[in-house]
Chains A and B, each alone.
Chain A
Amino acid sequence: MLDGLNLTIKDKGIVAVLGPNGSGKTTLIKSILGMVIPNSGTIKLDGKSVKNSWKYRNDIDYLPQIANFPNNLTVNELIKMIKDIRAKKATDETRLIELFNMEKFLNEKLGNLSGGMKQKVNLLLTFMFDSPLVILDEPTSGLDPISHIRLKELIKAEKAKGKTILITSHIMNFVEEIADEIVFLLEGKIYFKGTISELKAKTNQPDFEHAIASILTDNYA
């Protein structure tokens, strides 16, 4: 899926990975996590290869794109279980539960939750730990407007702590507001890497959404 990709992400700041559906955004993220195993090439984190290693995942908070949880567990049980697995102490749990207004369904079975509620659980599990690298795959999907705003604030607060944050999203306003740098993937290759203003200059478009759209229409035609 990905081919000839050479990407270096510097410490600190928010990097947005963009691209049309099926361009390899999730594959890229899953490769970093070791869920997809590359046929060739290496992925290094802090200078160490991630191949056949697993401890490095302690330093990554990952938000999967589709929140697939075991249906027969309650939210509380799941939180407890993930806390058991991670070596790190969960720090922000109660604050996040309040932030996303989750007290009501903590004892519900995950199978009975709506898509947006599941996404909140997903966010909670991700931001509960204080890891230097945060990877968010479509964090905004299914969220109501209030949660959306709070999520943006949360991401900015995490950035202020000096974390590196990798985001994929299709909502351009959201990306424009928070991203320091963007990487545009097209058919498994990097099409553009740089800041938003650089992209605007390159495509001669006054706003970000149209800049992205112009890349896509050029390549779709």
Chain B
Amino acid sequence: MFMNNDLSKAIITFMNVIIMLVPLIGTIFGVMYYYDSKEFTELLLAQPIRRSHIFLGQYFGVALSLSMSLILGLGLPFIFYGIFKSAAIWDFVLLLVTGSFLTFIFTAIAFNIALANENKIKGFGYAILIWLFMAVIYDGLFLLTLVMFNDYPLDKFSLIASMFNPIDLSRILILLKLDISALLGYTGAVFQKFFGTSQGLIISIFVLSLWVILSTFNIFRISKKKDF
């Protein structure tokens, strides 16, 4: 950031870090927190409290504090740097919003995994696997299909495929907001046409919210049936 005065470039650098690290921290910390507070949970379960309140309370506690640390930790330095006077303010806000979404989504996934697995090592393993899949393997498979089916029109397919991975969705959303669609190569134009519009933005935010809602609802559903 101090090397150049271009805030957009700084945002891209941070985006790469956020897109990878935020989900990883969310999953690992979520799983760790659940297993570590197990005794506490058992204590609370015998008390007159609703089950859903215990687990959703834990989830929101973790997810909220993680996203607060992201927003404050990134926001304060940028505020001192003078982000409010810069034109990149909305790009930066979008970065924080997607970062918070990713925190909520991956913490919820982590709680789902932890609730479904009594075995800690298994739980950790699945959590890391999910992260690895979403952050790395999914992209690889995606790229592979694009190369293999090069002769076919894949615009719609790639658009839909990106919806199924919150990490990809966030990355594309930010990149296109920053107008560097050229980097995305040949499907870039389609993406630009879709994500560049405000309609695309709304749909993407909606899909991210859907991820949060569905995974949170699943925490509620699993916790209701589980034996302790």
Contact = CB atoms under 8 A, between A and B. Distances in A.
Interface of A: 30, 33-37, 54-58, 62, 64, 68-71, 82, 85-87
Contacts of B43: 64, 68-70, 82
A86 B225 CA distance: 24
B46 interface: yes
Nearest to A56: B48
A98 B64 CA distance: 41
Interface of B: 37-40, 42-51, 225-228
Contacts of B40: 69-70
Nearest to B38: A68
A86 B48 CA distance: 7
Nearest to B45: A35
B228 A87 contact: no
B39 A69 contact: yes
B47 A70 contact: no
A33 B46 contact: yes
A70 B37 contact: yes
Given A70-B39, A70-B40, A37 B46 contact: no
A82 B47 contact: yes
Contacts of B42: 35, 64, 68
B225 A54 contact: no
Given A70-B40, A86-B48, 5 more contacts: A34-B45, A35-B46, A35-B227, A54-B50, A58-B48
Interface centre among B40, B45, B46 (most CB of A within 10 A): B46
Given A35-B227, A36-B228, A85 B39 contact: no
A57 B48 contact: yes
Given A36-B227, A37-B225, A85 B49 contact: yes
Contacts of B226: 37
A120 to B, nearest CB: 16
Contact of B228 (A35, A58, A69, A70): A35
12 contacts: A33-B46, A35-B42, A54-B48, A57-B46, A57-B47, A57-B49, A68-B38, A68-B39, A70-B37, A82-B47, A85-B47, A87-B48
Given A35-B228, A68-B39, A70-B37, A62 B46 contact: yes
Contacts of A55: 48
A64 B227 contact: no
A116 B39 CA distance: 18
Contact of A86 (B39, B45, B47, B51): B47
Contacts of B38: 68
A85 B225 contact: no
A6 B29 CA distance: 44
Contacts of A86: 47-48
Given A35-B227, A36-B227, A36-B228, A64 B48 contact: no
Contacts of B45: 33-35
A213 B42 CA distance: 33
Contacts of A54: 48-51
A85 B44 contact: yes
B154 to A, nearest CB: 47
B45 to A, nearest CB: 5
Nearest to B52: A54
